[in-house]
Chain A
Amino acid sequence: MGAKDYDTLSIDCGLLPGTGLETPGILRRAAVNVPLPECGGGGHARNTARHGRERRNAGRRIHLPAQTKPPQQDGAALFDQAALMRHVGDDRELLKEIVELFLETVPHLLKDIRDAVGREDDNGLRTAAHALRGAARNFYAPGVEQAALALEQMGQSRALRGASSAYAELEKELDKVRPLLQAMLPDDGSGGTS
């Protein structure tokens, strides 16, 4: 989806690759400070009254209100720092710990994905890509999440054609996010930047 405003998005839950149910969360996390009425992560429980009502009304289709901002082509679009800070309860020490853990884990997961693609191991690909997607979700990094989801779905559907280029896309997205996360680590051990 490009930087164009839409008044309404109607998303088919049977989209491939992935499910339409995954899409709202990814789109939402691409924009900062936009309400998240739909299911798909972003910290909203499936069981809120509003959500339940929307889902009952929408059946298998999910309707989103107008997006107020197009995704920005800067750090804000790569990951949502405000959401990340809320996620860690504004605890900078915890932020440092999870950034370090993520940066430490990513190379192993990338290797697992690369190896799985190399030996055409669909289950291994699904598992490793799922793990990376889950980790990225904690940083509200929609580009990484979407790239990992594409690989996960390839593994899920046992259709690994295009997996190498999808892997390259994932690396590209991670290369964008990694320095931003590294920049959040303190130089002096004081617990993070302001």
Chain B
Amino acid sequence: MTVLIADDDRVLTLVLGTRLKKAGYKVAAIFDAMQAVMTALRNPPDAILLDVNMPGGTGLQVLRQLKNSIRTNQVPIIVITGSCDPETEATVKSMGADEFLTKPPDFEQLENLLARLLRTTAG
């Protein structure tokens, strides 16, 4: 299973990437919104962890483009953001995000969410 992490927080990306690899996932990390879209469209991952504030665009733009593409609209997307603004959560959920976590996410919870979403997608 491949997870694409799209987040310009390199420390968090390193933490999540390392721990996900240990858990058996393949991980790709992208630090820029536009790159994230291009990478996901070119080679759709099994799941995406998406930040809201990134250079080169916003996570919301990434979310919109990926959920509007037939290539990626079934890929589960977990939005992970530093803000727990309920409006942001409502917005990303209405745009098709599968889950919403605040930073820094609890890894076990993230792993459980990923496993559940990937089971759902596979089923």
Binding site for A on B (CB under 8 A): 8-12, 14-15, 18-19, 22, 53, 55, 82-86, 89, 99-107, 109, 113
Contact = CB atoms under 8 A, between A and B. Distances in A.
Nearest to A133: B82
Interface stretch (A94-102, A113-121, A160-168): A94-102
A133 B103 CA distance: 11
A40 B102 contact: yes
Interface string A16-58: 0001011001000000000000011111111100000001000
Interface stretch (A63-71, A83-91, A182-190): A83-91
Contact of A134 (B9, B85, B113): B9
A90 B37 CA distance: 33
Interface of A: 19, 21-22, 25, 39-47, 55, 87-89, 91, 94, 97-98, 101-102, 105, 127, 130-131, 133-135, 137-138, 140
A51 to B, nearest CB: 9
B48 to A, nearest CB: 17
B10 A101 contact: yes
Q: Which of A43, A88, A94, A127 has the most CB of B within 10 A?
A: A43
A66 to B, nearest CB: 22
A104 to B, nearest CB: 10
A131 B15 contact: no
A43 B109 contact: yes
Nearest to A83: B104
Contacts of A133: 82
B9 A98 contact: no
A94 B102 contact: no
A135 B11 contact: yes
21 contacts: A19-B83, A19-B85, A21-B83, A45-B99, A45-B105, A45-B106, A46-B100, A47-B99, A55-B86, A89-B19, A89-B107, A94-B15, A94-B18, A94-B19, A101-B10, A101-B14, A102-B11, A131-B9, A134-B82, A138-B9, A138-B12
B104 A87 contact: yes
Contact of B84 (A40, A89, A101, A134): A40
B72 to A, nearest CB: 22
Contacts of B18: 91, 94, 97
Closest 4 CB pairs of A and B: A39-B84, A43-B106, A134-B9, A138-B11
A94 B14 contact: yes
Contacts of B89: 46
